[in-house]
């Protein structure tokens, strides 16, 4: 029973590695220079892969990077297809990973609470 559940995890990791390497070595789009792949989630039928990314910079730079990733999706998918030993290659979609932003905001709130409690 664990084999069907494990396959998407293996594919997710392979997709993450292939895309990260392609972004580092092969993609020449200057909009994508400050992108980090944080994780990849592949559906159980391996037809979709949601690629979570963080982008350094302001909102405009993030928007440009996301547009650059969408533009390079076909190229990146072809790289993934070469690395996968299966008949289907997941369709790639890119999503901003808000985990770091949420953690930073929680840290700010906790620090504010701590200062309020310390003030008489």
The range of the structural domain enclosing residue 64 comes to 2-118
SS (H, E, C) the chain: CHHHHHHHHHHHHHHHHHHHHHHHHCCCCHHHCCEEEEEEEECCCCCEEEEEEEECCCHHHHHHHHHHHHHHHHHHHHHHHHHCCCCCCCEEEEEECCHHHHHHHHHHHHHHHHHHHHCC
Q: What is the pLDDT of residues 41-99, one digit of tens each?
A: 999 999 999 999 998 888 899 999 999 999 999 999 999 999 998 888 999 999 998 88
pTM reported for the whole predicted model: 0.79
Averaged confidence pLDDT in the chain: 89
Q: How many domains does one find in the chain?
A: 1
Report the CATH number that the domain containing residue 39 is assigned in CATH: 3.30.300.20
The pLDDT assigned to 4 comes to 52
């Amino acid at each position: 029973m664990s084999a069907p559940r494990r396959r998407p995890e293996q594919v997710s990791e392979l997709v993450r590695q292939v895309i990260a390497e392609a972004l580092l070595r092969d993609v020449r789009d200057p909009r994508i220079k400050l992108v980090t792949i944080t994780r990849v989630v592949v559906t159980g039928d391996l037809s979709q892969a949601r690629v979570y990314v963080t982008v350094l910079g302001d909102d405009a730079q993030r928007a440009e990077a996301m547009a650059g990733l969408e533009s390079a999706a076909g190229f990146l998918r072809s790289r993934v297809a070469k690395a996968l030993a299966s008949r289907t290659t997941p369709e790639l979609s890119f999503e901003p990973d808000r985990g770091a932003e949420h953690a930073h905001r929680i840290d700010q709130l906790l620090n504010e609470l701590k200062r309020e409690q310390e003030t008489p």
